[in-house]
Amino acid sequence: MSIRAVATMLVVSLALGACAMGQQGSSQAPARLSLEAAARTAGQGGEASAPPQASSSLTVQVSAPWVAPAFAGERIAYRREPLRLEYYTLSRWAEPPQEAVAAVLTRRLEESGAFRVVLPPQARLSADRRLAVDLELLEERVPPVGPAPYGEAEVALRARWVQTSDGRVLASKRFAATAPVTQPNAEGAVAALGEALARVSEEVARWTLAVEAQGR
């Protein structure tokens, strides 16, 4: 084989390799998955909330949640060893977790019909009550630390029901829920996390109604 033929083959091989790497890079662009949309979809499949016995005249604001540092970024967390947290490399949150959690809680309180107005964190209006939330856990657990076949997702948060006139905490409680993961990928993880978040937000909404009922 001539030197010219060998050189031609090298050039072609390098060009094909560059094309392949370029295609791989574009196909591995991070997918953006929405926790808020997953929770909304999960909520649509569940039972409707029981209507409150009486509607109050209170205005409520949901504060921007504090999120534990391990879950505060755009990375989606999973655990396959008890002490080691890992993250999906090709999938990211479409919105910051604190925004998703605030949106889900705001919608749940609105749907309860128990309050005159429910304000999101960005609203600059006065409110009678404030729901403050610390998001402690937002992770998928895959086998062997999670149950077979694909593991489970857990959402855990601590909620405080605050009287805004004097900053007094009227009640505080920790909520947690798990949901099974039905497929071994980021989409399965997010769907399960959305389901767990929908359950937690429903429990929080019912709890706020109970706290107000006890205070009457």
Judgement on whether residues 124 and 144 belong to the same structural domain of the protein: yes
> In this predicted model, what pLDDT tens digit does every residue of 166-216 receive, in sequence order?
999 999 999 999 999 999 999 999 999 999 999 999 999 999 999 998 876
Residue 25 confidence (pLDDT): 37
The reply to whether omega before 147 is within 30° of 0 (cis) is no
97 and 195 together in one domain: yes
Query: What is the pLDDT at residue 55?
Result: 62
pLDDT of residue 44: 77
Residue 16, pLDDT score: 34
CA distances from 194 to 93, 97, 154, 164 (A): 12, 11, 10, 30
What pLDDT is stored for residue 43 in this prediction?
Answer: 81
| 89 and 23 together in one domain | no
User: CB of 173 within 8 A of CB of 139?
Assistant: no
Confidence of residue 28 (pLDDT cuts 50, 70, 90): low
Q: Which domain holds residue 10?
A: 1-30
Lowest mean pLDDT of 12-16, 104-108, 115-119, 207-211, name the range. 12-16
Instruction: Say how many Å lie between the first and final Cα of the chain, rounded.
Output: 95
Measured distance CA(114)–CA(204) in Å, rounded: 13
Residues 68-83, mean pLDDT to the nearest whole number: 97
pLDDT of residue 88: 97
- The pTM for the full model equals 0.83
Query: Are 14 and 47 in a shared domain?
Result: no
Assess whether 94 and 197 both reside in one domain: yes
Q: What is the structure's pLDDT at 2?
A: 52
Query: Rounded to an integer, what distance in angstroms lies between the CA atom of residue 33 and that of residue 140?
Result: 14
45 pLDDT tier (thresholds 50, 70, 90): low
Q: Mark whether 186 and 83 lie in a shared domain.
A: yes
Residue 98: give its domain's CATH number. 3.40.50.10610
